[in-house]
């Protein structure tokens, strides 16, 4: 973890949204905190074709980013992570906000240790990949 789960209205231009770039920036921000291992970082997006924003103006758009993290970080670490992620998000979306009405929302959720299960072999694959590059 973290897992970045993005939901957005379908009326945002894909080229401006540039999800691959946004996800790369979010992954880098997570790594820069020193709190999250590379093998645990995931990103995904869900495009919503059926939506209504405010008064129904078809140009109004929304984007919501939910970040899920595992337990064990201090409130200060969670807050600094949230601030870093929201900064990346808002800066990335600034060109879109200049072109259309856009509601941006964000939340960071900590999953309780007793309710979270993982099965992950990505660390092994990352190690193999790294060894092959040398």
Active site residues: 2
At 60, phi and psi to the nearest 5?
-75, 140
Q: Can you read off the two tokens belonging to residue 128?
A: 């193999």
Residues linked to residue 102 through DSSP beta bridges, in sequence order = 61
The C-alpha atoms of residue 65 and residue 3 are separated, in whole angstroms, by 10
């Amino acid at each position: 973890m973290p897992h970045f789960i993005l939901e957005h209205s379908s009326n945002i231009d894909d080229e401006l949204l540039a999800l691959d770039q946004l996800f790369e920036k979010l992954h880098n921000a997570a790594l820069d905190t020193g709190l999250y291992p590379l093998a645990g970082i995931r990103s995904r997006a869900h495009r919503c074709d059926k939506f209504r924003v405010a008064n129904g103006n078809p140009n109004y758009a929304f984007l919501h980013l939910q970040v899920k993290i595992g337990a064990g970080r201090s409130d200060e670490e969670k807050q600094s992570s949230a601030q870093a992620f929201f900064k990346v998000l808002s800066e990335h979306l600034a060109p879109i906000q200049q072109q259309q009405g856009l509601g941006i929302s964000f939340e960071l959720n900590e999953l309780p240790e007793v309710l979270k299960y993982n099965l992950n072999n990505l660390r092994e694959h990352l190690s193999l990949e790294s060894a092959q590059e040398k």
